Amino acid sequence: MFDPMPNNSPFDVNMALDAGFDVLMPYANVKLDSVTRLTQDAIFSRSLSGVKRTAIFIGGRDIGLAVDMLEACASAMTPPFQVSALADPSGAYTTAAALVACVEKGLRQGFDLPLAGRKVLVFGGTGPVGLASAVIAALQGAETTIVDHLSLDSALDLSKQYHHRFNANLHGAVAQNNEQKAALLADAEVVFCTAKAGVRVLSTALLAEAKALKVVGDVNAVPPSGIEGVNLRDFATPLPELAKTLAVGALAVGDVKYKTQQALLQSLLTGDAPRFLDFRAAFDQARSLV
């Protein structure tokens, strides 16, 4: 388990154990330029049968760095010494995949609409889960805007950076107050709330001004909810006082996220060909689950 942070995530350790791995070797403070050496140390020390029982997990908090580390890991391997690898920094890939898949199902179920072509706002969009959600939605053809609560420059810089990295058409915006939020919500059809836990981002009064709003998804499981009226177990459930808008709550997302990560981890232990999995594989898996 390669993690650029000071500690490996206990969440990921438990997930790997539950997925069927017997031995875990956590490495913290891993730099990008160390990935090649660590990968080759792992693969060349095993027999050909041993490499099939070995896999690499990449954590951290930076979704771009995780992709870079995954690519470095894959490049370090020499057939037949190859093992599978999964990147899921802070669970951002699997959480974002579950969020987008659940909201996509809500759109189809409630409105017979695809995610493609929808106007999507991602509040908390400059954090790991927000960025991953925005990239996934944009790659599905949604008109996606990442929203920062402090800095327009930060939102614009990240939208350009991830547009270039993943060819995902992203926009940036800032919402420091209710007036700016209302302006952004005016023609929004989908809202993802991935802001800091325990912070109310959108009130019912603000949402009432969003005349085109169809589905909202909130990953915050710590009271108060990020979006007023969203309950933890909502899955395409009408919002109170906004019956035409459907809600997806944190536990509904979390259930799909848990199953997605578990399935991806288990897939590392099967098959003869190596697999290198990131948010794209996570979204495919989440979609199949919902």
Has residue 237 been placed in a domain?
yes
Same domain, 27 and 163: no
- pLDDT at residue 48, as a whole number: 80
**Number of domains composing the chain:** 2
pLDDT tens-place string over residues 67-97: 999 999 999 998 888 999 999 999 999 999 9
Q: Which is nearest to 120 in space by CA: 153, 106, 249?
A: 106
pLDDT tens-place string over residues 206-239: 999 899 999 999 999 999 999 999 999 999 999 9
Same domain, 146 and 282: no
- pLDDT at residue 239, as a whole number: 94
- pLDDT at residue 51, as a whole number: 76
- pLDDT at residue 52, as a whole number: 78
CB 231 within 8 A of CB 159: no
**SS3 of 175, please?**
coil
Same domain, 183 and 222: yes
Same domain, 105 and 143: yes
Q: What is the mean pLDDT of the chain?
A: 95
- pLDDT at residue 110, as a whole number: 96
Same domain, 265 and 282: yes
Same domain, 194 and 275: no
Domain with 77, as residue range(s), is 10-91+257-289
H helical segments located in the chain: 10-19, 35-44, 48-51, 63-75, 92-111, 128-139, 152-166, 178-185, 204-208, 250-267, 279-289
Has residue 5 been placed in a domain?
no
Has residue 190 been placed in a domain?
yes
Residue with tokens 């578990």: 262
Q: For the domain that residue 35 is a member of, what is the CATH number?
A: 3.40.50.10280
Look up residue 124 and give its two tokens: 């908390």
Integer Cα distance of 263 and 282 in angstroms: 9
Q: For the domain that residue 118 is a member of, what is the CATH number?
A: 3.40.50.720
Integer Cα distance of 88 and 243 in angstroms: 35
Integer Cα distance of 120 and 162 in angstroms: 16
CB 245 within 8 A of CB 83: no
Has residue 4 been placed in a domain?
no
Same domain, 127 and 16: no
Has residue 2 been placed in a domain?
no
Has residue 53 been placed in a domain?
yes
Same domain, 164 and 263: no
Same domain, 82 and 108: no
As a residue count, the chain comes to 290
Question: What angle separates helix 128-139 from helix 63-75, to the nearest 10 degrees?
Answer: 70
Same domain, 126 and 155: yes
Same domain, 112 and 247: yes
- pLDDT at residue 271, as a whole number: 75
Same domain, 101 and 69: no
Question: Average pLDDT for consecutive 10-residue bins of the chain (290 residues)?
Answer: 95 93 96 97 85 91 95 94 94 97 98 98 97 98 97 96 94 97 97 95 94 97 95 95 93 98 94 91 98
CB 227 within 8 A of CB 193: yes
